[in-house]
Structure 1
Amino acid sequence: MLFLIKTLRALMRNPQGAIGTVLVFLLLLISVFGPFLAPQDPESFNFGSRFAPPSAEFLFGTDWFGRDLFSRILVGARSTVLLAILATFIGTASGALIGIFSGFVGGWVDELIMRTIDAIMAIPGLLLALMILTVLGSSSLNAVIAIGVAFAPGMARISRSTTLAVRELDYVSAARARGESKLWIIFSEILPNMVAPVIVEATIRVAFAIMTLATLSFLGLGAQPPSPEWGLMIADAREHMFRSPWPILAPGISIALVAIAFNLLGDGLRDVLNPHSQE
């Protein structure tokens, strides 16, 4: 708890970190309470207000069915932001465990795991996610799994490189001298001392997860209609973009703002948690 308080105070003294922290906090509030904050039913048709521009009644305008875009953005934040965070957590947790184990064990096991990781990383992340979804089928949950799997190899390499440096430090040698088990050393000595770079990388990757999730939904492989997921909203609005720009601008700007917020937070955390960046 003391570490979190110190980190938060340091973030608020960092311009990028402060802006990113405030924006991400607001985004999380919207993601959790968005359905309760929506002024109108996001699925309610109002054919008399089709393609309405932003106004006091419809803050972001309406789409081709007269649905309130502001309400759809608020409700869709849960299926966009929270699912992206979940996908990042899956990729971070699995990749970090693989990287720590590989770096700590070393030898032929490390070589085998890393060469496998290199082979997987040769496949672009989006293409790998598409391949996984081809097998699992199209749904939001499967898209989250696919993104998590696509992110895991990169996190494995980062955690492995950190583990290689940490495992040579004195406190790890002392734990070995005491006869501690490998699992105890990994989870009690190595993992707590390599959390910082993993957290920084995970925070930045949330932005990529949001864009990837939106891309998969745009291609029809993520969320399915009538979900107000932002990428799906953009895909559905393509046919009407010349009649009204608002159905595309509202979710598009939302995706951009979320990506910027998490990138700012990641940059701030990098400055705060990485002592070399402060030299």
Structure 2
Amino acid sequence: MGAPSILRGAGDYLAQKIEKHPFQARRCAMMSSYGGLFNGVVGHAWYIALDKGMKRVAVPGTAAFVGGKVLADTVIFGPFHVAAFFTIITLVEGGTLKDVKRKIDTDLVPALAAEVAIWPIIQAVNFWKVPVEYQLLVVNGFTVIDAAFMTSNTGNQIFINIKKGKNYPPNVVEIRVKYEQTIGDLRKLAAKKAGIEVDQLQLFRHGAELLADKYDMKTLLEMDLHTGFSLMAYDLTEEPDYFPPVRKTPEGLVVISAAEAAA
């Protein structure tokens, strides 16, 4: 429990030092607590159980053994881990269970799409070469690297999950932004990566359309723990298939809640 907590906290502390903005002790404490309580306890139990389970059906060190572990980690632990993170962070920030549900409904799939783009490769090497008792340490080590150093020169990492029509899964593009940039800059970077015109890209955050007059980049980054988070987007070159459904408001499009849909 101690090592994951220290590593998570250290990674966030280094990230904040690199960003050269006033240190946020609350943010660091949140990340450290999550690392200790979830990664340290649940993560440790998961890797032990996963190793024992796969040894019953495959020979350790084989492609089937490693591949089975990666698949199970991605399909089972991945969604559980992301949902737990959203739940803990939302509640710590003063949110309600309703806020947790809204967060999971709108952000779980985009966050998982971003994770699938990175972690299976890391975990394949981890499960292949590293003894089970050290696998959680490797994962937390990569978390430190991502949190601390990915923001150094290239800016804060954001994954944009762009859905086009009824096509699935969404096209995931990675961009880097700095505090002094704007939401307009974010849209331009994402549109360029996706190969579409900027006016054909529609961004969403937490179930509402992300408009330039709602946030500046500094506020957006600070609300989402600075780096490595996801935003949903729609490619308007085809009729958008909004999921969850949305409705128009004076402030832009917002996701229709389950209660509204049932009414």
TM-score normalised by L of structure 2: 0.33
The higher relative CO (CA closer than 8 Å, separation ≥ 6) is in 1
The structure that is helix-richer by fraction is: 1
Q: Which has the higher strand share?
A: 2
Structure whose alpha-carbon radius of gyration is higher: 1
Q: Tell me the TM-score normalized by structure 1.
A: 0.31
